[in-house]
């Protein structure tokens, strides 16, 4: 079974500072990896994904993530936080074969301090 | 393209009742997955339907069931509601093929009293 670990349920960051959200996965084979964002009273919006190829992937709203197989990690970063980045962020994985089932981490609630 | 739509957005039910939630996927998508989101358990996979057949199932009791119609619209049913069923139920739409990119609807907020 696959699992995802996101440490630190609440993350505070100053406006203009680096946003770093950590995601580690446990899987027998490298999975497909996703980051989703959820704004209050809304569903999940896909930020970016890694399937194959280049390990540094760029997403929407200035976010990017790097897949590191040796560290089983897929950390999300953004160089400069905006107030609009305040939301909950989820890392998710799915196996790269015949399975459309996402396993999510517990999420990080990001608070941006002006 | 229109996004994933879910109806109703909010629902209040009493213990013991049953409820049906509806999801319309993105046009052309044949896979619909359902997830339950609660503060305690987070996001948990319920089941996935692809071309009217249940393809994957999560670890939920038989009170939770679903179906998919020929137009790919899906319904989820919960019978004999319990207080613990209070949650945000999210529907996700995808082509059903690798790399399984899923697009989520706004969810249905179910409150059981």
Tens of pLDDT along B10-45?
999 999 999 999 999 999 999 999 999 999 999 999
Tens of pLDDT along A20-65?
999 999 987 888 999 999 998 889 999 999 988 889 999 999 999 9
Q: Are A110 and A88 in contact (CB under 8 A)?
A: yes
When pLDDT is cut at 50, 70 and 90, the band that residue A96 belongs to is: confident
Nearest-CA distance B16 → chain A (Å): 26
Q: Which of B42, B50, B107 sits opposite A107 (nearest CB)?
A: B42
Residue with tokens 């059981």: B112
Residue with tokens 């976010």: A63
pLDDT value for A99: 72
pLDDT value for B8: 97
Chain A contacts of B87, Cβ < 8 Å? none
Tens of pLDDT along B56-103?
899 999 999 999 999 999 999 999 999 999 999 999 999 877 777 899
Q: Which of B13, B92, B97 is nearest to B47 (CA)?
A: B92
Q: Which of B7, B11, B10, B51 is nearest to B32 (CA)?
A: B51
Check if B38 contacts A (Cβ < 8 Å). no
pLDDT value for B48: 94
Residue among B43, B93, B94 with most chain A CBs within 10 A, to mutate? B43
When pLDDT is cut at 50, 70 and 90, the band that residue A98 belongs to is: low
């Amino acid at each position: 079974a696959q699992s995802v670990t996101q440490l630190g349920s609440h993350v505070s960051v100053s406006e203009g500072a680096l946003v770093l959200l950590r995601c580690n996965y446990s899987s027998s084979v490298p999975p497909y990896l996703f980051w989703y964002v959820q704004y209050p009273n809304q569903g999940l919006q896909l930020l970016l994904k890694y399937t194959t190829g280049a390990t540094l992937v760029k997403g929407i709203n200035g976010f990017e993530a790097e897949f590191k197989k040796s560290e089983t990690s897929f950390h999300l970063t953004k160089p400069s936080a905006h107030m609009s980045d305040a939301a909950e962020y989820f890392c998710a994985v799915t196996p790269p074969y015949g399975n459309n089932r996402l396993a999510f981490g517990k999420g990080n609630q990001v608070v941006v301090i002006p | 393209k229109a996004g994933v739509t879910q109806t109703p957005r909010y629902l209040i039910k009493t213990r013991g009742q049953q409820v049906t939630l509806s999801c319309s996927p993105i046009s052309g998508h044949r896979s619909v997955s359902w997830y339950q989101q609660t503060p305690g358990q987070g996001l948990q996979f319920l089941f996935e339907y692809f071309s009217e057949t249940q393809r994957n199932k999560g670890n939920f009791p038989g009170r939770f069931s679903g179906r998919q119609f020929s137009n790919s619209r899906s319904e989820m049913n919960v019978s004999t509601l319990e207080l613990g069923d209070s949650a945000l139920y999210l529907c996700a739409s995808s082509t059903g093929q690798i790399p399984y990119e899923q697009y989520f609807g706004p969810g249905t907020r179910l409150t059981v009293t």
